[in-house]
Structure 1
Amino acid sequence: MEQTSQLTKALLKNSNNPSLAWHFFKHLISSPSSSSKSYHKSIPTITQILISSKMLLELDQLHQLILLQPPDVSRSSLIALTQASAKSGLLDKALNQFQSLRSNFPNQPPSIYLYNVLLESSLKGNRVECVSELYKDMLCSGIKPETYTLNLMISFLCDLGHLEDAQILFDKMPIKGCHPNEFSFGILISGYCKAGLSLQALELFDRMRSFGCSPNTVIYNTLISCFCKEGKVDEAEKFVEKMRESGFSPDVVTFNCRISILCGAGKVLEASKIFNDMHSNDDLELPKPNIITCNLMLEGFCKERMMEEAEALVEAMKGDGVFTTLESYNTWLLGLARNEKMLEARAVLQEMIEKGISPNIYSYNILMDGLCKEGMVSDAKLMMELMKSNGISPDAVTYSTLLHGYCKKGKLIEANNILHEMTRIGSFPSTFTCNILLQSLWKEEKILEAENLLQKMNERGYSLDTVTCNIVIDGLCKNGKLDKAIEILDGMWNHGSAALGDLGNSYIRLVDNTNERKKCIPDLITYSTIINGLCKAGRLDVAKKKFIEMLGKNVTPDSVIYNTFIHSFCKQGKMSSAFRVLWDMEKRGCKPNTRSYNSLIWGLGSKGKINEIYQLMNEMTEKGVYPDIITYTNLIRSLCEGGNTRDATSCLDQMLQTQIQPDVSSLRSLIKSFCKAGDFEAAQEVFAIGLSICGHKAVLYALMLNELLVGEKTLEANAMFLAAIRRGFDVGGFSYKDLIERLCKEEKIKEAHSILHKMIDNGYQFDPASFIPVIDAFGKSGNKREADELAEIMMEMASNGWKVNKNHYKEYNEKKLKRGTPQTDGSDWQTILHRDDGSGTVVKALKRVQKGWGQGSISTLQPQKSEIPDYWEDT
C-alpha cells in the first residue's frame, strides 16, 4: 500500500511532464522484478495523466500492457482503466477496454457500478445503440439493476420520446427490487413536460407522496415552466402558490422560467409585470432578478420591437453594474440588428471592445446578418475583415450570411467567390446555403453556372433535397422548359433527387438509393410551381391532371394552387369553371381569401356582369373575407368600362369610408371615364382627391395631362405641365412634345415657347426636336429672328447631348425679356395644383360628383349543386 501511494505521488509530481511520467510507469509495470499488484491502484492516475495530455496512443499501449499482467491484476486494472476512460468521455476507448474485460473474464461479470458509468457516458454521448447493448449485457450477466441504473434507463427512454416504455419501466421498479426516488419522479415528469403532456406530469407528481417521496424545487420549476409553455398561465400561478404552501420558496429559476415562456409566447407585458415585481416589491419577498432574468427580459422587449423599454433596461443594467457579460451584449446586439438599428449596433460593438469584453464570432455574425438584410453587403464584408484582424476565424455561418447577402443584391460573381473561399479553407457550406446560390443563378438565367454548382454539390457529397429539386423545377418553368420540369417531378416519386440526372449537358447523375428517395419527394411547393407554370402557359388540361395526381399522392392543395386555377380560368373567360374551383376549394376545407374573390371580380368585370360582382362582394363579406384596394379597383374599372361612372365614384367614397386608401390605379379609370364623357369638372375633382391622398406624384400628373390633351383642353394641360416642371418631375412620362405641337397649332406660340423656357430654366434635358413646332410657328408668323435664335439653341443642344449652353441661353433670354415675357394660363387648375388639403376636402369633392350605387340590394349568389369529377370544365 505504501509503495502504491509513493508511486501515485511520483506520478502526480511529474504530471506536468506526462511523457516522463508515462515512461516511468511503463518501466515499472514492465519490469520482471516488480510486483504488478503494487501498481494497479495507480492505473486511474496514469490514465488521467495520459487523457489530459491527449496521449491516446500511449493509452492504447497501457491497455495492452495490462492484458499481459496476471489475471487477478489484469481484471482489476482493466476495470479501473475502463472507468477512467468512460468518465473522461472517451466512450469508444472505454467500450473497447470493456470488451477485453468481458472476453478475458467471461465468468466474472463486472460490478453494477461499472455498468452505470458506461451507461451514463453512453447517454451523454447520445449513443443509443450502446445503451441498449450494455443494458442487455448487464441483465444477461445476472447483474441486478439498482435505482440509479433504472433512472438512467428512464432518462434514456424519455430522451428518445418513448414515454410509454419509460412509464412501464418506472412502474416495474418495485418488482425489480428498486424503490423509485425523487430523481426517478423528476426524470419522468421532465420527460412528460418536454413532450407537452402536463396532465400526465401532474398525475405523476400527485403519486410522489404515496411512494414516500417529496417533490423538490427542480420538479416544481419543471411543472411551472410546462404550464407556462402550454399557455396555462393560471395553472402556473396556482402551482407557484402550491409550492409556497409546501414550504418551498419560489427561487429566481422559477421566475426565470415564467418570464422566458411568457416572452417566447409574445406576452412581454405580462413578463414585464413579473420582472418589475421582482425588482421593486420587497413586501412579496420575491427573489431579485439575476443577469439571466435581465437578459430574458431584454430579449423579449427586442423581439416585440419595444425598443424604448429595451434601451431603458440596458441603461438600468449599466447603472446596476450588471451589463458586463458577453451574453448581455450579444442579446442587445441581436435586438438592435433585428430592429434595423445598425448604427447603434456598431456603436455597441465598439463599446464592447473599449470595455475589454471581446466580441466572439456570434457577435460578428449578428452584425453581418443585420448589415446584409439592410443591403449593406460591402459593410458586412468589411466586418468580416475586422473579425479576422481581431484573431477570429469566420465560420460557415459567417460565409453563408455574406453569400446570402450577395445573392440578394444579385452580385452572383461575389457570391460564387465566397463559396470558393469557403471550400478552400475547409468551411463547407450547408445544402441550404448552396440552394440560395442555386436559386439566384436560376433567377439571373445563368443556367450553365447553375448546372456547374449542382455538379459540385454532387461531387462533394451534398444531400440534395426537395428544396434543391424545387429550385431547378422553378428555374425550368420560368425558362419555358415545362416538359422537362414535369419529367423531374414524375421522377422524384421513384428516384428522389436522382430525377435531376437526365436534365441535359452537364447535369448530375446521382445514385438512386432508398434513403435519398425518402428525403426528396415532391411536396406542395413542387406541385404549386408546376401548376403555376402550366397555367401561365395556357396548358390548363395538363395542370388539372397534375392537380388530380397530387390529390392521389395525398398532397393537400392550398389556396395558392386554387387561386392559380381561378385566375387562369377568369383570364380565359371560363367563369363557370372558375366558380367551380371556388366551390371545390370550400368543399375541401380550404378557405377562399381576398385574392380568390378579386380574380372572380376581375373576370366578371371583363364580361360586364356588374350585378354578379355586387352579389359576389356580398357573399365574400358574409364569409368574413373583406374587400381590399384591388377589389375596389377592379370594381371601379368594371363600372367605368360599363359607363356607370357615377356609381364608380360612389365606390371610391366607400373605399374612403372603410379606411382603404385609393392609389393611382384606383383613380385612373375614373379620370379616364369622366374625361371620355367630357365631364372635365368631375375629372378635376377626382384628380384633386388623388393629390390629397396619393400626393403630388408624376404618374398622376401624366395621367391627367394625357387625358386633357385627348379632350383638347390644351390650356389646362399647359398649366398642369408647368406645375409638374415646378415640382421637378421627370418629364419622360409626359406627352410634352404633343402639348407643344398642339399649342402651336392653336396659335398659342407664347405658351409653347414658355414651356421650352421653363424646361431649360429648370435644368431639364429634353428632346431638341421639341423646338421644331415653335420654330415653324415663329417663322409662319413672321418672327424670323426668334425662329433663328431658337434654331441655333436647338442645334447646339442636339450637339451637346440634349444640354443647353447656359451662357448662350442667358443672352437669348435677356433679349426675349426686353421683347416681353409670355404669360401662362391662370385657370382653375392652378388652385388645384397648389393645394395640399386633406380628407375633409376629399369627401366634399366626392359629394359633388357621386349619385350613389344605383343598383339596390341584391341577394347572395348561390352556388349551383354540382359534383366536381369533371374538374371544373365549362358546360
Structure 2
Amino acid sequence: MNESTKLREALLKNWKNPALAWQIFKRVLCGPSPCPLSLCKSLPIVADILIRSKMHPQLDTLHHVLLLHTSLHSSSLFALVRILARSGLLDMAVSHFHSIRKQLPHIPPPVYLYNLLLHSSIQENRSDFIPFLYKEMIFSGVSPDVYTFNLLIRGLCDAGHTDDARKVLDKMHQKGCIPNEFTFGILVRGYCKAGLAIEAFRILDEMRGFGLTPNKVVYNTLISSFCKEGRDEEAESLVDKMREDGLVPDIVTFNSRVAALCKDGKMLEASRIFRDMQTDDALELPRPNIVTFNLMLKGFCKIGMLEEAETLIETMKANCILMTLQSYNIWLMGLVKKGKLLEARLVIKEMVTKGIEPDICTYNTVMDGLCKNGMFSDAKVLISLMQSRGILPDTRTYTSLLHGYCSRGKIFEASYTLNEMMRADCSPNIYSGNILLHSLWNEGKISEADSLLQKMNEKGLDLDTVTCNIVIHGLCRSGKLDKAMEIVDGMWNHGKTALGSLRNLYLGLVNDSCAGNRCTPDMITYSIIIKQQCEAGRLEDAKKMLIEMVGRNLYPDSIIYNTFIHSYCNVGKIASAFRALKDMEKKGLQKTLHTYNSLIMALAKNNQIFEMHGVLNEMREQGITPKVCTYNTIIGSLCDAGQTNDAMSLLNEMLQKGIVPNIHSFCLLIKAFCGEGEYRAAQEVFEIALNISGHKTALYSTMFNELLLGGEIIEAAELFEAAVEQCLHIGKFVYMDLIDRLCKDEKLDHAIDILHKLIDKGYSFDPAVLIPVIDALREMGKKREADEFTEKMLNMSSEGGVANKVWHSGEGRNHLKLKKKGQSEWKNIVHRDDGSAIALKALQRVQNGWGQGSILHLHSLKKDISDFWEDAG
C-alpha cells in the first residue's frame, strides 16, 4: 500500500473525528518531505471533513500552508478554491482566490475556475464579485469562453441591467466567441423578466442571423411574458411561429399562457384556451394536466367565481384526474375567501377520507377564515385538531388568531395568544407584534403598549418603520403631537432608537445598529403627522413638514394633498385650497371625490355658485361621478340663492345617471319652492320623492310645515290627515298651529274631525291642542260640546295622552286604498305607488312648466392660484 492510499484511508477512518483527521493531514503536510501526489489526492477528503465540521479557521490554515509549500503544484490551491465555492463558502473561496493571485501572479488560474466562481456568485446573488472576477480574468490573460460570457449576461440580467447584458453580447463578437442558443435564451429571459417582451422578441431575429433556431424554452418564455403584458395576439402569433419552426407547442407552452391570464384575472380568455385543450383534436393541442387544472382552479377562486371552480372540481373527479393536496388547498382558499366555512370543513373531511393528509397550509387557510369571522372557539378547536395530527401551529396560525382578536377589540385574548405563541416556541414575527401594538394604542392602553414594545425588542424582533408609525399615530391620537414630531425627526438620525425619546422606559430599548438606522420615516409617517397638524389648526407646521418631506426625496401623494385642501377649506382659505389643487395637478396626482367635495362645500359656505358649478364640471371631465352628498351641497346652495330651476336640473341629472336622491335632496327643493310660493311645483317634487323614497315622516313633515307656513291651510290639513292614515310619527308636525288656524278660519268641524282621527289612531299628543277648539265652541255658544272637550283635555293631562298606545311608524305598512271620487289631490299623491318612471315624467313636467335652467360653466378664478404656499384668505 503506497503512502497516498494510506493517508486517504487514515482520513476516511477518522471522518467522524475531524480534529484528529486534521492533525494527521497537517502532520504529513508539514513534514520534512511531503509527497505532492499524496497530498493532492487527499486534499478533497480533508477539505470536505473541515467544511462539514465548520472548522473554518483550519481551512484558512490549510490555505496558508499550501501557499508556503512551493513544491506543491498550484492546482492544489485552485482545487481548494473550487471545493469551497461548490460547498457554498463563496466569501472564503473568493478570499483564498484573491490571496493566490497576490502570492502567485505569474500562474494564471484555469478558465473553469473563473467560470465556477462567476456561477457561484450568481447563484448566491453576490453580483458584487462579478466585476472583480471578470477584470481579474482579463488582467491574467485568460480568455473568456462562451460559457463565461453566458454567465456574465445571466448575472447582469438577474441584476436588472439588461442594457449592459446586451453590450456583453456585442463584445463576444470582438473576442471571437460565437454566441450559442443558451446565450440568446438567457438574454430573452432577462428582457422578459424586466417586462420588455418586445425587445426579447427582437432577439429571435438575431438568433436566426447566427443560424440558430429558438428552442421551446425560449418560445415558452416569450409566450408567458406576452401574456403577462396583456399581449394576447402576440402570444397567439408566437404559438404559430413555433409550428413554423417545426416545434410542437407542449403543455408548458399552454400552461404558461393559462398561468399569465389567470394571474391577471382574465378568466374568459383562459377558459377559452382551457376548453380548446380539452376538445380541439384538429390542432393537436396538448391535453391539460394537473398543473393546468390547478391554475384554472386558482384563477376562479382568486376572483370569487366559485360556481365555475366547483364545476371544475366536479370535472376533475368525474374524469379521475388526481386531486392533489395543492388542488384541495386552492379550493379551500376560494371557499374561505367567500366565507363558506361549513363547506371548507366538509372539504377537509373529504381530504382525510381520500387519504390526503392536510398540511399546515390547509389548516392555516381555514384558521384565517374562522378568525376573520370571529369564530374563535372553532379556531381553538382547529388548533387542538392540528396538534393531535402532529402538525404544530406556526407563526401564521397564531398571527391569524391574534389579528382576529385585535380586529374585534379583544385585547386581553390577543395578549394571551401572543404569550401562548412564545410558550409554544413559535417565534412571533414583527407583523404579529405590530398588530397587537396597534390595537393597544387604539384602545388607549399606553402602558401595555410600552410593555409590549419592550418585549418585542427583548425577543429580538427587528422593530421597523411600521412599528414607529404605530407609536407615532398612537401619540397623535393621545394629543401628544409634539412628542410624535420628535420621534419623526429622530428616526432620520437614529432609526428605531428614536423611540427611546418617548420616555425613560424606552431608553436603551433598541440598539443603534445599521438595521436601526434604516428604519426611516416613510409616506405614511408624514401622512399621520401632517393630518394631525392640520386637524390641530397648525397649518404652518404642516407645510414645513411637507417641505421637509420633499427635501428627503419623499414626495406627497393624493392623500396628503387632500388633507391640505380639506383643512384650507375648513378654515375658509379657499384660494389656498385651489393652489394646493393646482400643485396637485402639476405633480400628476389623481384627484378624488374627497378632493372635490371639500372644495364644493367650502364654495357653498361662501355662496360662490359660479365657481361651484365650475368644480362640478371639472369633476365630470375627470370622470369622477359626484355622490348624493355632492349634489345636495350644490342643490342647497342653489336653493338658497333662489336658483331653483338649476337645482331641479341637478335633481334630473341625478336621476338620469342612476344616482338615487335621498330625503334631504327632496326636502331642500320642497322648502325652496314653498318659499317662493310655487306650491304646485313643491307638490310635484313631493310626488317624485314618494315614488323614490317611500312614505317617510321627514317628507310629510317638511311638506306639511311649509304649506302651513305659507298659509295653505286646507292643503296642509289634508296632508296631515294622510300622514295620520299612514300612522307616521307626528312629533315634527306643527299640528297645534294647524288646529289653531282652522279654528280661527271658522273651520271648526275640520279641526274636530282631525282630532277625532288622532284619537281613533291611538296617538298621544299635547292636550293643549284642544284649547283653540274649546274656545271656538264657547264663542259659538256650544257650551256642552266645549265642556266635553274640556273634560277630555283634563283626562289627557292626567293620563299623559289620549291613550297608552304610542304612535307607530307607517314605513313598511301597506298603502291605503284610494278614496272614491272627490278625494283630495294630496290623498291621491300619497297613495300612489306606480314606480320611478312616473317620478321621471313628473320631474319633466315640473321642468317644462318652469323653464329649464342651464348650469353655468367655470371660467378662470378671479383670484390668482399660482402659489400654493402663499396663504390667502
2:809: which partner in 1?
Answer: none
**SS at 2:505 equivalent:** coil
**Displacement, 1:570?**
3.1
Q: What code does the residue aligned with 1:538 have?
A: G
Partner deviation per Cα, 1:150-198 (whole Å, 9 max, x = no partner): 4334323322233344444444446667543322322232222212233
Partners of 1:717 and 1:412 in 2: CA distance: 53
Q: How does 1:142-181 map to 2 (within 5 A)?
A: 146-173=145-172, 179-181=178-180
Aligned equivalent of 2:337: 338
> In the TM superposition, what whole-angstrom CA distance separates every residue of 1:484-511 from its partner, at most 9, and x where no partner exists?
3334444444444444432345345655
CA contact (8 A) 2:440 2:446 kept: yes
* TM-score, normalised relative to structure 2: 0.76
Deviations 1:400-450 (A, max 9, x none): 233222222222222233333333444344434433333333333333333
Work out whether 1:841 is the aligned partner of 2:815: no
Q: Which residue of 2 aligns with 1:763?
A: none
Alignment of 1:183-194 (within 5 A): 183-194=182-193
The letter for the 1-side match of 2:836 is S
The answer to whether the 8 Å contact 2:332/2:365 transfers is: yes
CA distance in 1 between partners of 2:222 and 2:552 (Å): 42
Partner of 2:697: 701
Mapping 1:256-271, distance limit 5 Å: 256-271=255-270
- What is the identity, as a one-letter code, of the residue corresponding to 1:543? A
Give 1:814's aligned residue.
Answer: none
2:403–2:435 CA contact under 8 A, matched in 1: yes
Q: 1:327 to 1:282 in 2, by over 3 A?
A: same
Q: 1:866 aligns with which of 847, 852, 864?
A: 864
Corresponding residue number in structure 1 for 2:521: 521
Answering whether residue 386 of structure 2 is matched by residue 420 of structure 1, we say no
Question: Counterpart of 1:445?
Answer: 444
**What is the SS of the residue equivalent to 1:256?**
helix
* Superposition map of 1:131-280 within 5 A: 146-173=145-172, 179-280=178-279
CA distance in 1 between counterparts of 2:677 and 2:385 reads: 67
Identify the residue that residue 728 of structure 1 maps to in structure 2: none
Q: Which residue of 1 aligns with 2:328?
A: 329
**Does the CA-based 8 Å contact 2:649-2:852 persist in structure 1?**
no
Instruction: Give, in whole Å, the separation in 1 of the partners of 2:801 and 2:657.
Output: 58
Moved more, 427-436 or 325-334: 427-436
Match of 2:388 in 1: 389
Supply the distance in 1 between the matched residues of 2:608 and 2:88 (Cα, whole angstroms).
77
Aligned partners of 1:291 and 1:682: how far apart in 2? Answer: 68
Q: Within 1, Cα distance between the matches of 2:628 and 2:801?
A: 51
TM-superposed CA distance for 1:281, in Å, is 1.0
Q: In the superposition, relative to structure 1, how do residues 737 and 508 fare at CA in structure 2: closer, same or farther (>3 Å)?
A: farther
One-letter code aligned to 1:485: A
Taking the aligned partners of 2:56 and 2:867, their CA distance within structure 1 comes to 73
What secondary structure is seen at the aligned counterpart in 1 of 2:444?
Answer: coil
Distance 1:643 1:77 in 2: 99
Against the structure 1 CA distance between its residues 447 and 285, is the aligned structure 2 distance closer, same or farther, given a 3 Å change threshold? same
Flag structure 2 segments of 5+ consecutive residues without an equivalent.
29-34, 709-715, 744-750, 775-786, 807-822
Distance 1:571 1:755, change over 3 A: farther
SS of equivalent residue, structure 1 residue 284: coil
CA contact 1:435–1:471 (8 Å) conserved in 2: yes
Aligned to 2:300: 301
Give the Å deviation of 1:520: 0.8
| Amino acid corresponding to residue 693 of structure 1 in structure 2 | I
Amino acid at match of 1:873: D
Q: How many residues align?
A: 817
Contact kept? 2:686, 2:699, Cα under 8 Å: no
2:500 alignment counterpart? 501
Q: Tell me the distance in 2 between the aligned counterparts of 1:268 and 1:86.
A: 46
Shift in Å at residue 353 of structure 1?
2.1
Q: Residue 688 and residue 358 in structure 1: after superposition, are their counterparts in 2 closer, same or farther (change >3 A)?
A: farther
Q: Which moved more, 1:444-453 or 1:142-151?
A: 142-151
Query: How much has 1:37 moved relative to structure 2?
Result: 7.8
- Does the residue aligned with 1:520 lie in a helix, a strand or coil? coil
Q: Name the counterpart of 1:479.
A: 478
Q: 2:693 & 2:346 partners in 1: Cα distance? A: 38
Q: Structure 1's 245 and 849: CA in aligned 2 closer, same or farther, altered over 3 A?
A: closer
Give the SS at the match of 2:569: helix
Q: Which moved more, 1:215-224 or 1:133-142?
A: 133-142
Q: Which amino acid aligns with 2:837?
A: G
Output the CA distance in 2 between the equivalents of 1:421 and 1:514. 32
Sort the Cα spacing of 1:63 and 1:322 in 2 relative to 1 into closer, same or farther, 3 A: farther
Partner Cα separation in structure 2 for residue 773 and residue 392 of structure 1: 76
Comparing 281-290 with 265-274, greater Cα deviation is found at 265-274
- Give me the TM-score of the superposition, normalised by structure 1: 0.76
1:123/1:156 contact within 8 Å kept: yes
Match of 1:359 in 2: 358
Question: Any residues of structure 2 matched to 1:721-760 within 5 Å, and which?
Answer: 723=726, 735=731
CA apart distance, 1:277: 1.7
Q: Which stretch of structure 1 is more off in the superposition, 585-594 or 826-835?
A: 826-835
Distance in 2, matches of 1:106 and 1:157, equals 28
Q: Summarize the Cα distance change of 1:873–1:39 in structure 2 as closer, same or farther, 3 Å threshold.
A: closer
Instruction: Provide closer, same or farther for how the CA distance between residues 587 and 352 of structure 1 changes in structure 2, counting only shifts above 3 A.
Output: same
1:339-388: CA deviations, max 9, x gaps? Answer: 44444333323322222222222222223333444454554444444333
Contact kept? 1:678, 1:711, Cα under 8 Å: no
Alignment root-mean-square deviation, CA:
5.4
Partner of 1:813: none
Distance 1:57 1:572, change over 3 A: closer
Deviations 1:772-802 (A, max 9, x none): 999999998557998899699999x9xxxx9
Give distance in 2, aligned partners of 1:555 and 1:27. Answer: 59
Question: Where do 5+ consecutive residues of structure 1 fail to align?
Answer: 726-730, 760-769, 803-825
Aligned partners of 1:580, 1:201: CA distance in 2, in Å?
45
Per-residue deviation, 1:57: 6.8
Q: What SS does the aligned partner of 1:506 have?
A: helix
Q: Deviations over 1:685-733 (max 9, x none)?
A: 656645543467xxx43564587579876896686478568xxxxx8xx
Give the whole-Å Cα distance in 2 for the aligned partners of 1:466 and 1:598. 32
Separation in 1, partners of 2:27, 2:600:
98
**1:143 positional shift:** 6.0
One-letter amino acid of the counterpart of residue 367, structure 1: V
SS in 2 for 1:208: helix
CA contact (8 A) 1:771 1:790 kept: no
Do the aligned residues in 1 keep the contact of 2:610 with 2:857 (CA within 8 Å)?
Answer: no
User: In 1, Cα distance between the equivalents of 2:302 and 2:645?
Assistant: 48
683-692 or 323-332, which deviates more: 683-692
DSSP 3-state at the match of 1:207: helix
Q: Residue in 2 aligned with 1:654?
A: 653
Q: Could you list the per-position Cα deviations for residues 445-485 of structure 1 after superposition, in whole angstroms to 9, with x for gaps in the alignment? A: 33333333333344445444443343333333333333333
Cα distance in 2 for partners of 1:92, 1:7 equals 29
The structure-2 alpha-carbon separation of the partners of 1:586 and 1:60, relative to structure 1 and needing over 3 Å to count, comes to closer
Q: 1:842, 1:148 → 2: CA distance?
A: 78
Percent identity between matched residues is 47
CA distance in 2, matches of 1:208, 1:472: 58
Give distance in 1, aligned partners of 2:306 and 2:19: 63
Between 186-195 and 538-547, report the one with greater CA deviation: 538-547
Cα distance in 1, alignment partners of residues 62 and 472 from structure 2: 62
CA 1:579/1:98 → structure 2, altered by over 3 Å: closer, same or farther? closer
Per-residue CA shift, 1:619-645, capped at 9, x if unaligned? 543454443322211122223444555
CA distance in 2, matches of 1:784, 1:839: 44
1:660 Cα offset (Å): 0.9
- Does the CA contact (< 8 Å) of 1:652 and 1:662 recur in 2? yes
